[in-house]
Chains A and B, each alone.
Chain A
Amino acid sequence: MTGEDPGPLIRLFGLTGGRARPQGEAFDLVAIVTTVSGSYEPADLIPEHRAVLSVCRRPTPVADVAAHLRLPLNVTRVILGDLRREGLVTIERPRPVAQTIDERIYREVLHGLRSL
């Protein structure tokens, strides 16, 4: 045997078709991904796609999906972009901070931290 095992890189290449960026609109590291309920699940899904659909039945941030899959974030994002294009998941659109983190949320976070 010579050289390093090329397996992992080839596998990653296979998952994304060599693409480095997801298709469609950009999404954040912590954008919420949700499996579209009741959607038809194609029989030929690869295991990683199935895993995403299973995890995201509960709304799950992108970073957590990557950790579940044990895949690099950008590979995960390509996979998520593909699933979105197929209509199997929705990915929250980027929103300005002012619209997402209001004072009520701040108070909740503060309270949550204090009671840890």
Chain B
Amino acid sequence: MDYAASEPGATAVASALAIKILIAGGFGVGKTTMVGTISEIRPLHTEELLSERSVGVDDTSGVEAKTTTTVALDFGRITIREGLWLYLFGTPGQDRFWFMWDELALGALGAVVLADTRRLQDCFPAVDYFEQRGIPFVVGVNCFDGARRYDPAKVRRALGLNETIPVVLCDVRERESVKHVLTTLVTYAVEGV
């Protein structure tokens, strides 16, 4: 039977789907750069307005003024075909915005955890987060200028990663490199289906 295949337009609209991929890692590790390198549009920037209640209070003893905080979310888009998109979301860097991760991670295909070998500990929280929730992730070791080229096996050991989790060296400024990281993630995620 060939009724559906002959009407690509109708099928595409009926099954429009946007898939989330998260780009996580410490502050300044290159999340926004990675999104910008591969996105077909200039990374879109949106902000979440948070009331002080949802942010939690640092130390406001004696401070009466109401505060509003904004969390910037950068995201990029890759159109696979009409009605099928990949959205790359750079996760908010600060730990106090963990609650936003839950929403970003819900239904996500998977995540890329970017690591900087000079500050490897910065990506521990992201690794823990995705491990605990069973969300497929790969670790991308961003090879900054001047940073020593690390052996992926050493990074794996330092992060205490399961043997199956891919660790890839990358340069987030290079399109081919980012494509490699993303295809590695999708390939890894498909094995879990």
Residues of A within 8 A of B (CB): 9, 12, 20, 28-32, 34, 59, 61, 63-64, 66-67, 71-76, 92, 94-97, 100-103, 105-110, 112-114, 116
Contacts and interface: CB of A to CB of B under 8 A. Distances in A.
Closest 7 CB pairs of A and B: A112-B80, A67-B44, A30-B18, A61-B18, A59-B16, A106-B190, A66-B46
Interface of B: 13, 16-20, 38, 44-49, 51, 68, 70, 73, 75, 77-81, 83-87, 89, 103-104, 106-109, 175, 179, 182-183, 186-187, 189-190, 193
Interface-central residue, B47, B70, B175, by most chain A CB under 10 Å: B47
Interface of B, secondary structure class, is: strand
Given A12-B49, A113-B183, A97 B190 contact: no
A29 B49 contact: no
A73 B17 CA distance: 19
B80 to A, nearest CB: 4
11 contacts: A31-B18, A34-B16, A63-B75, A100-B19, A101-B17, A107-B190, A109-B84, A110-B186, A112-B81, A113-B183, A114-B179
B78 A73 contact: no
B51 A94 contact: no
B46 A63 contact: yes
